[in-house]
Amino acid sequence: MRFIDEFRNAELVRRLADKIARVSTRPSRLMEFCGGHTVAIMRNGIRQLLPPTIEMLSGPGCPVCVTANSDIDEAIALAGLPDVIITTFGDMLKVPGSYSSLQKARAEGSDIRIVYSTQDALQVARDNPQQSIIFIGVGFETTAPTVAMAVVQAEKEDLRNFYVLCQLKTTPPAMRALLDLGEIKINGIICPGHVTTIIGTGPYQAYARDYGVACVVAGFEPVDILQAVEMLVQQIERGDPRVEIAYTRGVRPGGNLKALELMHNVFDTAGASWRGLGEIPCSGLKLKMKYARFDAGRAFDVVLPPAREAPGCRCGEVLRGVIAPTGCKLFRKACSPENPIGPCMVSSEGSCAAYYQYGESDG
């Protein structure tokens, strides 16, 4: 399969769905951890193609959604400092913090600019040497190498006015934390495609070995996802959990060694707060002391209000797979993309936004 159309072929989709229905004989609960997979599953009606033996859950795979209110509050506070320009990806703009959002802060006069890459943020720093430019570094392992490269480049150019508010997170510790909670029994995991291109499959071995959970890395087209589901079902039916790759055109077992080396050189691991999961040790990335002068958290002092959650918002439970978005009383009523109460309705990879856009109505 060399061309993308083959991964959208209706006949292949039908054959895979029929095979899954034939093979699946026992109840199986599968979870995708990637927000991109959630959107692809909803957009392509994958859940409706699967037999009743298979239940699909969405996990904490949207980096914007899992960003804690306290982290958003810090970004808003930094935006209020004099001579500061905040640069951020567009998804972060509307995410509500405890009391406000970056969008509201911009409307009130803060200089907050949407960028499409860390290179754009560096250019803002070059163009505004008299101001402090802070890049809001939100993302998983896919984003981390680009942030690391920006820091290395800023040091090389001696850009004294460039900073990163490092809120990067790593996915394997969150997966383990979710499994340790034991709120829901997961039989199989659709492992994230883009993240795994960076980290490889090694971190997932523990889930198959220690938890008996089948793991398959998937791509993002209908055939990709159904291939992964079929491989997971085969493992579950055999009682032989292991780690496999369905997304062979994008993922290698060892990951991207150059990206991993870059991340290792720039970042140390640290604890990080995840919406819905709380503080998870070693699940965040912070700048090494060598690059401490680029750390916005060290360079600027801000007073943060006590963090609080929006009343009635159940994003945390959605991110843990405990409820579907339709299980929240605010969904489609008080909470919508035009008036988001929680981040799962804001992000393009959020479960609530995907359910809202593609008409999922079951609870």
CA distance 72 to 348: 18
Tens of pLDDT, residues 97-119: 999 999 999 999 999 999 999 99
pLDDT tens column, 10-35: 889 999 999 999 999 999 999 999 99
The reported pTM is: 0.93
- Place 197 in a pLDDT band, splitting at 50, 70 and 90: very high
Residues 88 and 273: their CA atoms lie apart, in Å, by: 20
The tens digit of pLDDT for each residue in 209-250 reads 999 999 999 999 999 999 999 999 999 999 999 999 999 999
Q: Are 7 and 1 in contact (CB under 8 A)?
A: yes
- CATH architecture assignment, domain 64-170+255-299: 3-Layer(aba) Sandwich (3.40)
Burial class (CB in 10 A: 0-12, 13-18, 19+), 145: buried
125-134: per-residue pLDDT in tens? Answer: 999 999 999 9
For the chain, residues classed under CATH 3.40.50.11740 are: 64-170+255-299
The whole-angstrom separation of Cα 62 and Cα 174 is 12
Q: How far, in Å, CA of 264 to CA of 248, rounded?
A: 25
In the chain, what percentage of residues exceed pLDDT 70? 98
User: What is the residue-averaged pLDDT of the chain?
Assistant: 95
Quick one: pLDDT band at residue 1, thresholds 50, 70, 90? very low
- Tell me the one-letter amino acid at 95: V
Quote the CA–CA distance of 174 and 176 in Å, as a whole number: 5
CA-CA distance, 190 to 18, in Å (whole number)?
19
The alpha carbon of residue 235 and the mean position of all alpha carbons in its chain are separated, in whole angstroms, by 26
Look at the alpha carbons of 236, 237, 241, 245 in this order and tell me if their dihedral is positive or negative. Answer: negative
Tell me the average pLDDT across 72-89.
97
Residue 255: closest CA among 175, 149, 145: 145
Residue 362 — pLDDT band, cuts 50, 70, 90? very low
Strands 278-287, 267-274: parallel, antiparallel or unpaired by DSSP? antiparallel
pLDDT at residue 307 in the model: 93
7 close to 220: Cβ distance less than 8 angstroms: no
Average pLDDT over residues 290-305: 96
Is 285 within 8 Å of 316 (Cβ atoms)?
A: no
Q: pLDDT band at residue 322, thresholds of 50, 70 and 90?
A: very high
Model confidence pLDDT, tens digit, residues 237-246: 999 999 999 9
| Local confidence band at 348 (pLDDT 50, 70, 90 cut-offs) | confident
The token pair that represents 175 in the structure block? 């997966």
Compute the distance between CA of residue 123 and CA of residue 133 in angstroms, rounded to an integer: 10
DSSP 169: B
Strands (E), the chain: 28-32, 54-58, 84-88, 111-114, 132-139, 162-168, 188-191, 214-217, 243-245, 267-274, 278-287
Task: Give CA torsion, residues 163, 128, 95, 143, to 10 deg.
Answer: -50
d(CA 72, CA 106): 14
Q: Is 236 helix (H, G, I), strand (E, B) or coil?
A: helix
pLDDT single digits (tens) 140-157:
999 999 999 999 999 999
